[in-house]
Chains A and B, each alone.
Chain A
Amino acid sequence: MTQHPAAPGTATYTRVFRAPRELVFRCMLEPEHLTHFWGPAGMSTPLDGITVDARPGGVFSTVMVADDGSGSYTMRAVYDEIVAPERIVWTEVASGVRSVSTFVDLGEQGTEVTIEQHDVPAAFLTPEARSGFLTSLDRFEAHLRTQLETWSA
C-alpha cells in the first residue's frame, strides 16, 4: 500500500490486486465477500452484521468483532454513489468522513483500488499531512508513550 500526495483535502490508500475489476468491485460491495476481509487484523466481520443496501441513500453498516472477545465496533454509513464496476462512495454517519473507492482496470496487471478519505479531521488535510505528518507523529507517539510510562512508574 502506498500513500501518495492527492488532491488537497484527502488521505489516499492505493493497492493493485491481481484479479479482474468486476470481481474486485463485487468484493467491496457484497456481504458474502466483505465478511472475508472487512475486519482488520485481529477482528472479524460476521456476515449477519453486514448491511448493504447498494443504492444512493442506502445503508452500509458493519459490525467488526475482536477475535479475542474484547469488544466490537459498529460502522454506520450511507452510500452516496455506486457505479459498477468502477466507483463506490459512502459517508460514515458518526464522523462525516467520506470514502471514495475507485477501481481501475490495469489489464494483465489486475485492478488498482484507491480509497480516498475526504473530510477527515483538519490537520490531516494540510500539505504537511500528506508529506510526513504521519511519520513524524508515529515517532512522536513512540516518544510520548515512553514518557507516559515513565510518569506512571
Chain B
Amino acid sequence: MTPVIDDPRLDAAFTALADPTRRAIVARLARGDATVTELAEPFEISLPGVSKHLKVLERSGLISRTRHAQFRPCHLEPGPLTAALDWIEDSRRVWAERFDKLDAHLEHLQRTSTTPTETKDVPR
C-alpha cells in the first residue's frame, strides 16, 4: 500500500481527470507525445476547445509542453496521475480488506465466546 492521501498534487489531478475528453487526451499521450492538432483529431471539438483542456491538464501537472519547439508537442507526466490512481485504489481496497478481516474477527468472537457481551440475539 502506498498511502498518498495527503499528497497536494491530488486535488488538481482529480479535477483534471473528471472530464472524459481530458481522460482521452491523457490516454492518447500515454502512447507517446503529440501535438495539439494530433490530439484534436479524434474529437468533435475545435482546436481552441482542445487547447482549453490542455491548459487544465498542464496546470494540474499531468502534462508538460515544450516551450521552444514550433509545434509544442504535449508530454504526459505520470507522477500526479500515479498518485491519483493510487489514492483511488488504496481507499477502495483498504475498506474491502478491512471488512474481510472484520468479518473473520466477528465470526471468531462469536464462535469462541460462550458469554459474548450483549449478544443475546446472535444469529446462529
Interface residues of chain A, those whose CB is within 8 Å of chain B, are 1, 3, 11, 13, 15, 17-20, 22-24, 26-27, 33, 36-43, 64, 66, 73, 92, 94-95, 97, 107-110, 113, 115, 117, 120-124, 126, 128-129, 133-134, 136-138, 140-141, 143-144, 147-148
Contact = CB atoms under 8 A, between A and B. Distances in A.
Contacts of B106: 17-19, 23-24, 27
A144 B78 contact: yes
11 contacts: A17-B102, A19-B123, A24-B106, A40-B96, A43-B1, A94-B5, A97-B5, A123-B17, A124-B88, A129-B18, A137-B85
Interface residues of B, number: 50
A144 B116 contact: no
B interface majority secondary structure: helix
Contact of B85 (A64, A92, A129, A141): A141
Given A122-B14, A123-B18, A136-B23, A42 B1 contact: yes
A46 B78 CA distance: 35
A140 B30 CA distance: 10
Given A123-B15, A128-B20, A37 B102 contact: yes
